[in-house]
């Protein structure tokens, strides 16, 4: 059963890569006409509504076990509100390609936190994947630091840290809520935080009138980039160690950057190409290794 669950999780990682990778493109299109707060207000509300409707139609249990509401709320703040708002501001202040790259330093922070908090440790293949991840991200990020610091770098790194913290936190508190219910409630709490932030910093969300491309982009963000992707992510985290799930998710920037080149006409540089090769190799180490040799857990 464990081997089957791990194999299923690997397939979910591939689906997640397309959902989240293309979500960056949809968000970039939407942000041409709407603000970050308005986009995330719409996206999180659509995503939450989609998952609650799916749970009800399929008969899934949406009950939150006693004592777990606060944990779901904390994770929702960091994984939904923090990640989504910071990623939007990162895209506004720099190239989408670079935003994706820096954001997906997430596995590095997840690895460190998982080692410190969860006691997870890397086997040889996992260690190789982590080393490739660090090397690839160093090559990609170095030109940005060489040109000096900017809000763009901090927004993107904040994204990575927010996501990593939420992932490790949920594993640490050992919630027993079902993955679909977990994703739905996190999105609902995240939506409430986004709504509060929107009224504080911007006022009422401005979502009309909009061009057709913007409307379609927002719908993609809500249904696929938020709703489907969050369900996939927490299903993966429930089946694999946090480190394995996070490094496997490095397929997302490969899809996202490739799509940015095609749809947003952003040209990758030589460091981009080298970094992408290393990152893809890191993801392959995780996704293709035998299930019995996945990242080891302490006895």
Helices (runs of H) and strands (runs of E) counted in the chain: 14, 0
- Cα–Cα distance between 73 and 228 in angstroms, integer? 19
The answer to the question of residue 298 being in a domain is no
The answer to the question of residue 158 being in a domain is yes
User: Residue 56 burial (CB < 10 Å; 0-12/13-18/19+)?
Assistant: exposed
- Cα–Cα distance between 186 and 195 in angstroms, integer? 14
Q: What is the mean pLDDT of each run of 10 residues along the chain (299 residues)?
A: 69 89 96 96 96 90 94 96 95 87 81 85 79 84 72 88 93 91 94 95 89 97 93 82 72 87 86 82 71 37
The answer to the question of residue 44 being in a domain is yes
- Whether residue 249 contacts residue 104, with contact meaning beta carbons closer than 8 Å, is answered with yes
Q: Is 257 left (phi over 0), alpha (psi -120 to 50) or beta?
A: alpha
The answer to the question of residue 164 being in a domain is yes
Helices (H), 147-269: 151-173, 179-201, 212-220, 229-239, 242-248, 251-263
- Whether residue 245 contacts residue 113, with contact meaning beta carbons closer than 8 Å, is answered with no
The structural domain count of the chain equals 1
pTM value is 0.84
- Cα–Cα distance between 52 and 227 in angstroms, integer? 10
- Cα–Cα distance between 87 and 249 in angstroms, integer? 16
**Containing structural domain, residue 204:** 2-293
Encoding tokens for residue 88?
């939007």
The answer to the question of residue 170 being in a domain is yes
């Amino acid at each position: 059963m464990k081997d089957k669950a791990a194999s299923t999780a690997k397939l979910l990682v591939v689906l997640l890569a397309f959902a989240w990778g293309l979500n960056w493109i949809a968000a970039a299109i939407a942000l041409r006409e709407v603000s970050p707060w308005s986009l995330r207000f719409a996206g999180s509300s659509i995503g939450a509504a989609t998952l609650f409707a799916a749970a009800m139609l399929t008969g899934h249990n949406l009950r939150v076990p006693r004592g777990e509401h606060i944990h779901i709320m904390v994770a929702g703040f960091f994984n939904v509100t923090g990640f989504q708002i910071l990623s939007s501001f990162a895209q506004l202040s720099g190239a989408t390609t670079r935003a994706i790259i820096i954001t997906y330093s997430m596995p590095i922070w997840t690895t460190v936190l998982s080692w410190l908090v969860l006691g997870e440790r890397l086997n040889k293949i996992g260690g190789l994947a982590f080393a490739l991840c660090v090397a690839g991200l160093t090559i990609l990020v170095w030109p940005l630091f060489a040109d000096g610091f900017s809000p763009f770098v901090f927004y993107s790194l904040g994204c990575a840290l927010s996501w990593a913290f939420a992932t490790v936190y949920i594993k640490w508190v050992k919630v027993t809520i079902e993955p679909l219910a977990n994703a739905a409630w996190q999105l609902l709490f995240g939506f409430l935080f986004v709504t509060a932030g929107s009224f504080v910093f911007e006022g009422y969300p401005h979502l009309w009138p909009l061009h057709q491309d913007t409307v379609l982009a927002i719908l993609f963000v809500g249904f696929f980039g938020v709703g489907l992707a969050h369900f996939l992510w927490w299903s993966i985290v429930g089946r694999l160690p946090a480190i394995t799930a996070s490094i496997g998710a490095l397929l997302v920037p490969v899809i996202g950057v490739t799509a940015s080149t095609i749809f947003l006409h952003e040209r990758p540089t030589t460091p981009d190409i080298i970094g992408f090769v290393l990152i893809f190799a890191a993801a392959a180490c995780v996704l293709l290794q035998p299930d019995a040799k996945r990242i080891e857990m302490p006895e």
